[in-house]
A and B are shown apart, each in its own frame.
Chain A
Amino acid sequence: MENYDLLNAIILLANFVIVPALSYGSQLALAALGITLVYAVLRFSNFAHGDLMAFGTMIAILITWLFQSWGLTAGVLPTALIALPFAMALTAGFCLLTDRIVYKFYREQKSQPVVFMIVSVGVMFIMNAIVRFIIGPKDRTFFDGEKFIIKAVEFKSYTGLPEGLSIKSTQVLTIVIALITMMMLFYFLQKTKMGKSMRAYSNNEDLALLSGINPDRVVMITWIIVGMLATIAGVLYGLDKSFKPFTYFQLLLPMFAAAIVGGIGNPLGAVAGGYIIAFSEVMLTYAYKKFFMYLLPTNLEPDGLMQFLSTDYKFAISFIILVIVLIIRPTGIFRGKTL
């Protein structure tokens, strides 16, 4: 079998690094897009975004339970996918409500961005409380349907290789849904009239107003998109891993890191940043011992786990990348600040 060592090594890497990082990156990218849109249009760093994701996911879980109690399922796909559109609509509505009750006042006052940021901390508290109040702080899984697309055992028997490849259906779903969402978002921003007016508003508020763009409408559309993106990102993350309000709050750091690394305010940057953060996180915390065992001759096999950093420090990785980018190129990779 030793002739297949290279192949085995590649499969190992695909199994534990490439596929998980791709799906985690897609989730981060969607989340970072929400942050970046708020930053570009409303001009503040939204600390409540992690909890907004948790809120959207909670709605999706509740609707999923409702559908399951009716006996409605999506067959091999998770039921949460049918619930997703409803949850998106409700979360978007919730965003609009928050904007109406809370943020609108400060916008009219033309408050400084930092005031908005503190206000978003208040919103974060309230959303956190609502989520914990309704669904509780515990860990929940709401996945149903077929769990694997390719099982490790089947792959082994099919190819005859000792290294198995398993791909979870949630990973493929995440990547596919994220790609579709991003494509739709970029089409919307680049080609439609509303998207163009959003970009104009983000570039120069006063000039946009003079050109007959209605700022209230732009803000409204932005919140709707942000709510929908947050729900998709949250549900995909919850399906892939599990739903726990505190984990969603902790995602704030990688999300912001992704948005800033790519250039905050720039949607393309948010997507790139999401994948950069995810790949570095997974690649730097993966133990490469087995990988090198396949590739190197027996006498050169490594003693340790060949792990750069233990998984306990995955937050440190997004932070270190953030700091490096801030030092070398403070505006981010794709020169942020406008849509």
Chain B
Amino acid sequence: MAKQLRELNFEFKAETPKDFPAGFLHYGVVGSGDMEVIIEKKAMSGAVKFKVVTPVTGFDEVWRRVLERFVNETGISNASLEINDCNATPVVVSLRLRQALAEIG
């Protein structure tokens, strides 16, 4: 049996939270080495929830750190983020998440 796609879940709270201003946002293309994200406003008493769907194994801790830093740097809160990943490196993940947020601005 071939390996299955994996789902990782994380939850963070920003140090200085800012509410996610839009209701729904989609950004990115699941190309090789790339990812897409859906960001949705969700009342979660300041928290942010991530669901990452990825074929990659062995980098769960790297994911956690990349996402946690994104939350702290942007202050994003009360939002749910769903990521479809296709072997994106940490730099691509950070870049796409920040570019997604910039789409609203």
Are both chains from one complex? Answer: no
Query: Which A residues form the contact surface with B (CB < 8 A)?
Result: none
Query: Which B residues form the contact surface with A (CB < 8 A)?
Result: none
